[in-house]
Chains A and B, each alone.
Chain A
Amino acid sequence: MNIVQLSDSALVTSYIAGNESAFEELVSRHKSKVFTTILLIVKDTYTAEDLLQETFVKAIHTMKSGRYNEEGKFSSWICRIAHNLAIDYFRREKRSPMITLEDGSNVFNTLSFSEESVESIRIKEETHARLRELIQQLPAAQKEVLIMRHYADMSFQEIAEATGVSINTALGRMRYALINLRKKMSLDTKAYDQNLYSE
């Protein structure tokens, strides 16, 4: 069977048995999710890349030493490692770093580079960065649940346990996060349109 058709669980088994290509596929599948989870917490591209490496190094050690415990999904497991490392980093720093703009390397590393113009990639990147800024403006509890559920792929039950609240509270926070984000996006678009037409 082609490696891209294998489930995460089958890839982990294959990797533990010594197939490095299986690990490459796992990295390819989950790098964006793990990276975004970290980036939304630490708000700095370079720090997020360092922590991404640290996350996968921990995962490599756990899997290769036979300590990987297949209880839940691989994606939830690795995102939880990433989330914990990012929170630890944030607490260590005890400050809120400035949001850094995406550097050019991300743009030039996009697979679709050859199919899209540099300008359209730039606009898309700016829109995505703006959305990440809007997420940063959410109340901390809502932002936390949103990152854990949407990007770190944790279930609401797992989030409730990790944050010490009831599942209904976790669901309520997620709902408000989505509603607030929708409002912010709507206001953001209006402000953008007004700027556009006033010129």
Chain B
Amino acid sequence: MIKTFTQNDLVQYLYNELPRRQRQLLEDALMVDQGLAEACADLLIAQVNLDDAFAQPSQRVCDAIISYSRTVSLHP
């Protein structure tokens, strides 16, 4: 029997937070449930696009952080 999955399960699946067994069952369900597969695809597209929003700090700031670390000497 195919287990019924919720939209929230899909979100957990996309972020690798679904337990292994449930993950397997959901992947089985995706093969036969077109509605679920479409919903998953929609969420996946948005999720993948989010990676485009990653921004980079300037090298100057990263260098400042690294050189600050070299000057700090704290003892536990």
Main secondary structure of the interface of A (DSSP, over half): helix
Size range of the chain B interface in the assembly: 35 or more
**B20-28, B29-37, B55-63: which one contacts chain A?**
B55-63
User: Which residues between 166 and 199 of chain A lie within 8 Å of chain B, taking CB atoms?
Assistant: 168, 171-172, 174-175, 178-179, 181-182, 185
A99 adjacent to chain B (CB < 8 Å): no
Q: Do A27 and B74 contact each other (CB < 8 Å), given the known contacts A178-B46, A178-B47? A: no
A155: chain B residues within 8 A (beta carbon): 17
How far, in angstroms, from A98 to B54 measured CA to CA in the complex? Answer: 19
If A49-B61, A150-B50 touch, does A179 touch B42 (CB 8 Å cutoff)? Answer: yes
Q: Mark B42-53, 1 if CB is under 8 A from A, else 0.
A: 110111011011
Can you list, as one digit per residue, whether each of A57-100 has a CB less than 8 Å from chain B (1) or not (0)?
10011001111000000000000000000000000000000000
> Complex Cα distance A23/B57, Å?
17
Interface size class of A (residues with CB under 8 A): 35 or more
Q: Is the CB of A35 within 8 A of B53?
A: no
How many A-B residue contacts, CB cutoff 8 Å? 122
CB within 8 Å for A35 and B56 given contacts A27-B65, A60-B72, A178-B47: yes
Chain A residues 17-40 with CB under 8 Å of chain B are: 20, 23-24, 27-28, 31-33, 35-36, 39-40
Q: Which residue of A lies closest to B60 (CB)?
A: A105
**Residues of chain A lying within 8 A (CB to CB) of residue B11:** 156, 171, 174-175, 178
Given A132-B55, A175-B7, is A60 in contact with B12 using a C-beta cutoff of 8 Å?
Answer: no
Chain A residues lying within 8 Å of B74, measured Cβ to Cβ, are 61, 64-65
Is B58 a contact partner of A56 (Cβ separation < 8 A)?
no
* Neighbour of B66 across the interface among A24, A33, A135, CB < 8 A: A24
Contact B52 A128 (CB under 8 A): yes
Tell me how far the C-beta of A172 lies from the nearest C-beta in chain B, rounded to whole angstroms: 6
- CB contacts (< 8 Å) of B59 on chain A: these are 109
Could you name 13 residue pairs across A and B whose Cβ atoms are closer than 8 Å?
Answer: A49-B58, A56-B68, A105-B60, A106-B57, A151-B54, A156-B12, A171-B11, A179-B42, A179-B46, A181-B46, A181-B49, A182-B43, A182-B49
> Nearest 3 pairs between A and B by C-beta?
A66-B76, A171-B8, A178-B46
